Amino acid sequence: MVINKGNYQMKVNLYHYLQGKSSFYERFFQQIKIRREYQSMNADKIKRMLDACYLAKRIRELLPELPEGVTPAYIQYMDVIHIIKRRQEDVKVSDISGYLNLPRPGVTRTVKEMEAKGYLSKYASTEDGRITYIRITEKGELLSEKYDQNYYSRLSEYMGDISEKEADCMIHTIEKFYKVMSERRVNIE
């Protein structure tokens, strides 16, 4: 288990300052006690963070019902395409994959489904025919407008109790937590 060494060391230094001339063994056992207390607090906090992630998943389930055959990923991908198009003219599957931090094969599969249903279309690069770009079709734009732009603009009216700073902190924390969980698998044996 990883602990914040700065906070732990601060507690240990404070303990030594208050204890004065305690024996080596007393200091050693107190350090162990502080470390266990600190680790226990982190375990409880991690559990609460995972509970909050579960609530976040439940919030997504409260989004408006989508038409049959449309998944929330379709709306998310079209939103990402709009975001990327503000920065660059053409969008590739790898751009979506990179933006969402998802494996490319899964993104390719979803893009193919969306293309088959008429929400996206693909076109080849004029400079290099091997490169394929993606664009949102008129049908896709109508779906995106209804379930993304209109819904979120109406929802924002009810979000007055959440400051922009709190929202940014939540986004940053969840992204950081995801990165830690995905990169550092902990073996429980």
Q: What are the Cα distances from residue 109, in Å, to 44, 69, 144, 155?
A: 38, 15, 19, 30
Categorise residue 71: left if φ over 0, alpha if ψ from -120 to 50, beta otherwise.
beta
Of the candidates 47, 16, 52, which has an alpha carbon nearest to the alpha carbon of residue 34?
Answer: 16
> pLDDT tens digits for the chain (189 residues)?
444 555 555 555 555 555 555 566 666 666 666 666 555 557 788 888 889 989 988 888 888 888 999 988 999 999 999 999 999 889 999 999 999 989 999 999 999 999 999 999 999 988 888 889 999 999 999 999 988 778 888 888 898 899 999 999 999 988 888 888 888 776 666
pLDDT of residue 23: 64
